[in-house]
C-alpha cells in the first residue's frame, strides 16, 4: 500500500474530525459554518483516497489500531482554543499544498487526477481575500470583501489611487456603516446598531 497516500488520507480524516469538533461552538456563526464545511471537505477527500487504496474504504479508515494510522502529530492535537485551531489549519494547508502539488505529477493517472480534484475543491473553499490556507477564521471579512468587489470595485475604473481611496472611504463610511442593513445586526446599519447599545461610563 502506498504509505504516502495513506498518510494523506489519515491526515485528511483526522483533521476533518478535529475541525468538526468546532461545529456549534465556533466564536461566530459564519466561522462555524465555514469550518464545518472545510471539515466535511477534508473527510470527503480522505474517503476518496481510501477508496483509491482499498475496495473497503470504511475498513481502511476505521478498522485499524491507533498505531497503524500514518497521520501527522499536528492533526491529532485536540485544541481547545480557537486561535490555535486556526493556526493549525493554516500550517496544515501549507504542508498539504506541497503534498497535493507533488501528487498532481504522480505517474499514476488515478492518483494525479484525484490530487487535481482535491486541489480544485480546496481552492474553491479557500477565502477570496488571501492565498491558499489564509483566512479560515474570517468568513465575515470574506463576505464583506465579496460585497465590496461586486458592488463597487468591479464596476468602476479608477484613474488614480487617490480616487480609489476616496470611493472606498465613501463606500465604508457613508454606505456600509450608515445605510446598508446587516442581517447579523438585526437588519440595522452598524451606526444604528451602535446607537442602541448602552453607553459605558
pTM: 0.63
Of 134, 138, 56, whose CA–CA distance to 93 is shortest?
134
The domain ranges of the chain are 3-134, 141-196
pLDDT in tens, 132-184: 444 444 555 556 666 666 666 666 777 887 887 787 778 777 877 788 787 76
At 137 the pLDDT is: 47
**Euclidean distance between the first and final Cα of the chain, in Å?**
67
Low-confidence ranges of the chain (pLDDT < 70): 1, 124-155, 184, 199-201
What percent of the chain has pLDDT above 70? 81
Provide the 8-state DSSP code for 185: G
Q: Which three cell numbers stand for residue 134?
A: 489564509
Helix (H) or strand (E) holding 68: none
At 149 the pLDDT is: 62
Correct CATH for 3-134 of 3.30.160.110, 1.20.1260.10, 3.50.50.60, 4.10.520.10: 1.20.1260.10
What is the Cα–Cα distance from 120 to 45, expressed in whole angstroms? 12
At 127 the pLDDT is: 45
At 59 the pLDDT is: 95
Place of cell 485499524: 64
At 184 the pLDDT is: 67
Q: 3-state class of 195 per DSSP?
A: helix
Q: Which three cell numbers stand for residue 198?
A: 448602552
Place of cell 473553499: 125
Amino acid at each position: 500500500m502506498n504509505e504516502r497516500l495513506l498518510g494523506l488520507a489519515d491526515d485528511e480524516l483526522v483533521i476533518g474530525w478535529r475541525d468538526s469538533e468546532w461545529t456549534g461552538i465556533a466564536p461566530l456563526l459564519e466561522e462555524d459554518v465555514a469550518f464545518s464545511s472545510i471539515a466535511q471537505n477534508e473527510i470527503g477527500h480522505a474517503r476518496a483516497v481510501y477508496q483509491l487504496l482499498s475496495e473497503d474504504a470504511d475498513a481502511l479508515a476505521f478498522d485499524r489500531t491507533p498505531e497503524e494510522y500514518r497521520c501527522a502529530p499536528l492533526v491529532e492535537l485536540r485544541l481547545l482554543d480557537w486561535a490555535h485551531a486556526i493556526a493549525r489549519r493554516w500550517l496544515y494547508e501549507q504542508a498539504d499544498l506541497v503534498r497535493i502539488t507533488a501528487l498532481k505529477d504522480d505517474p499514476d493517472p488515478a492518483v494525479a487526477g484525484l490530487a487535481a480534484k482535491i486541489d480544485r475543491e480546496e481552492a474553491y473553499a479557500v477565502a477570496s481575500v488571501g492565498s491558499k490556507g489564509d483566512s479560515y477564521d474570517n468568513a465575515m471579512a470574506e463576505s464583506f470583501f465579496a460585497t465590496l468587489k461586486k458592488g463597487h470595485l468591479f464596476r468602476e475604473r479608477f484613474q488614480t489611487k487617490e480616487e480609489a481611496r476616496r470611493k472606498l472611504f465613501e463606500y465604508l463610511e457613508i454606505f456600509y456603516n450608515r445605510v446598508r442593513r446587516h442581517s447579523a445586526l438585526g437588519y440595522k446599519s452598524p451606526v444604528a446598531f451602535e446607537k442602541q447599545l448602552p453607553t459605558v461610563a
